[in-house]
Amino acid sequence: MTQLAQSGGLQGSNPVINISIFVAFVVVTLVVVLRASRTTKTASDYYAAGRAFSGPQNGIAISGDYLSAASFLGIVGAIALYGYDGFLYSIGFLVAWLVALLLVAELLRNTGKFTMGDVLAFRMRQRPVRAAAATSTLAVSFFYLLAQMAGAGVLVSLLLGISNPVGVSLVIAVVGVIMIIYVLVGGMKGTTWVQIIKAGLLIAGAGAMTLWVLAKYGFDFSALLQGAVDKAGADGQRLLEPGAKYGTSEISKLDFLSLGLALVLGTAGLPHVLMRFYTVPTSREARRSVVWAIFLIGLFYLFSLVLGYGAAAMVGPETISQAPGASNSAAPLLAQALGGPVLLGFISAVAFATILAVVAGLTITASASFAHDIYANVIKKGEVSDKQAEVRVARITAVVIGAVAIVGGILARNQNVAFLVALAFAVAASANLPTILYSLFWKRFNTTGALCSIYGGLGIAILLIVFSPAVSGSETAMLSGVDFQWFPLENPGLVSIPASFFLGWLGTVLSGEHDEAKYAEMEVRSLTGAGAEKASSH
């Protein structure tokens, strides 16, 4: 705590209150997960919550799954420091849901069963495309998990006053163990209820802080903006104009375009988001769930605009940038300025709850993909005699993934994790989305095209990020002491996404094989839902 107090960051924080509120959340959610486990018996229960959730319930859970700690802490901090440019993150994340609603949600629910591999395998050779889909899913999930676990380490040192490496590592391990328990015991049903509770807490907490901030300025948003400008000093006007983060150089403009492309297209390819569409009974409920998610996520991002400028006005960009965790401390510092240690304790608990809910969703997605696609359909060739064997493999996989995430989070606790999130979105947009869209809408698309698109998009995205300024050659790079970067953009989306679409087209055209009858059947099912329940019942 001494280190934090000396830094001028979260002085006055009360770790006892923070931990108490967090423990209360964990106890309540564990009780909910245990109750949910009583009805988790079949593979459909474990992977898709028995398809028992309504559209509104699933929409709330999707918002809980999607609004990660990066959304809460990162965007508020970005707006507080960069104003206009920071809010562009919110716009990208929200607009992405229109792509999911119009092109993916309903069609995916009608066609698939548990995973993305189901959609691809419907009209292609089962084993190679399932292996490719599982590889892509595990890659996206792992890097997203790593970022969340490393983020937990940052939050620990920032909010609970634990600054020594052993203490931070211990809390990362505790977060990982709790997450594994959620997944093992409750499956998708328990995880969904955790996400619903967390979404309610996060949106309610952000809403209360928003009203509090606006009340301080007489519910006059213009007065709030003026307060932010005044607090920022001589160059405060830059908070209201574009260019504070992404300058006027050509590389900056291309980097912004690349990031925006990855954010807008990546969401519809994120495996843990796609899997949520299988937890509802009909395609109509899948559509409703996305509408609810868009409303709640949009509402939260409007709150983030007020909170970001509120932090700039009440705390100040200089204080935020000098605090432990820099921009990530904007929301906690604002909470402390508004309501003291108690509100700070609630917000810190919500931040931890956010991490728990997101990593639980990622873990069950990765374990389901391995058990259903690799074990059941590649290794066992779709002939699993024991119906419970697949669920057992999924649970074992969840433990392994959880352990790897804990170790990775501990190793990366002091690293820049922004590139990990960028990598997850870039891989999802590069490997998953082109393949899904081609499968749903292009009748000539075939197995060779799918493999070229997935492995090509995955390989290109990872290669370009490894040799980008996000990893080496810049002050904010993960490996700050070395310089082997040659790709100028921090996010590879501008190159890797079109390349993946091109490779999918090229592989399809060169191989020439396709099954028009299967495509016709898939098209009818995806658009009407005819036969979808039969596909999900065996």
pLDDT at 112: 64
What does the DSSP 8-state code read for residue 11?
Answer: T
Helices (H) and strands (E) in the chain, counts: 25, 0
Instruction: Write the CB contacts of 500 (distance below 8 Å, at least 6 apart in sequence).
Output: 430, 431, 434, 435, 453, 456, 457, 460
Total-model pTM: 0.83
Helix, coil or strand: residue 412: coil
Interatomic CA distance for residues 52 and 188, integer angstroms:
11
CB 75 within 8 A of CB 90: yes
Token pair for residue 245?
């983060």
pLDDT at 212: 94
The radius of gyration computed from the CA coordinates of the chain, to the nearest angstrom, equals 23
Q: Of 224, 192, 228, which is closest to residue 32 (Cα–Cα)? A: 192
Annotate 69-81 with DSSP letters as a single string.
HIIIIIHHHHHHH
* Secondary-structure class of domain 26-255+284-380+390-418 per CATH: mainly alpha
pLDDT at 2: 31
Q: Angle between the 418-427 and 126-155 helix axes, to the nearest 10 degrees?
A: 160
CB 438 within 8 A of CB 116: no
> Per residue of the chain (538 residues), what is the pLDDT tens digit?
233 333 334 556 677 777 787 788 788 888 887 887 776 666 666 666 667 788 888 899 888 888 876 677 778 888 888 888 888 888 888 888 888 777 777 777 777 666 777 777 778 887 888 888 888 888 888 878 877 777 777 676 666 777 777 877 887 888 788 878 877 777 778 788 888 888 898 899 899 999 999 999 999 989 988 888 888 777 778 888 777 777 667 777 888 888 888 888 888 888 888 778 777 887 778 788 888 988 999 999 999 999 999 998 898 888 887 776 667 778 888 988 888 888 888 887 787 777 777 888 888 888 888 887 787 778 877 676 666 677 788 888 888 888 888 887 777 665 555 556 767 888 889 988 899 889 888 888 888 999 999 999 999 998 988 888 877 777 767 676 788 888 888 888 899 999 999 999 999 998 877 667 777 877 777 777 666 544 443 3
pLDDT at 43: 67
Every domain of the chain and the residues it spans:
26-255+284-380+390-418
pLDDT at 456: 94
Interatomic CA distance for residues 399 and 397, integer angstroms:
5
Half-sphere exposure of 85 (CA within 13 A, CB side): 20
Phi-psi region of 342 (alpha: psi -120 to 50; beta: other; left: phi over 0): alpha
pLDDT at 142: 82
Burial of 226 (0-12, 13-18, 19+ CB in 10 A): middle
Instruction: Write the CB contacts of 472 (distance below 8 Å, at least 6 apart in sequence).
Output: 478, 479, 480, 482, 483, 484, 485
Interatomic CA distance for residues 362 and 145, integer angstroms:
7
Q: Of 351, 468, 261, which is closest to residue 67 (Cα–Cα)? A: 351
Token pair for residue 487?
């790709």
Q: Of 497, 476, 494, 493, which is closest to residue 485 (Cα–Cα)? A: 476
pLDDT at 538: 35
pLDDT at 384: 67
Interatomic CA distance for residues 94 and 297, integer angstroms:
7
pLDDT at 145: 82
Instruction: Write the CB contacts of 446 (distance below 8 Å, at least 6 apart in sequence).
Output: 124, 507, 508, 511, 512, 513, 514, 515
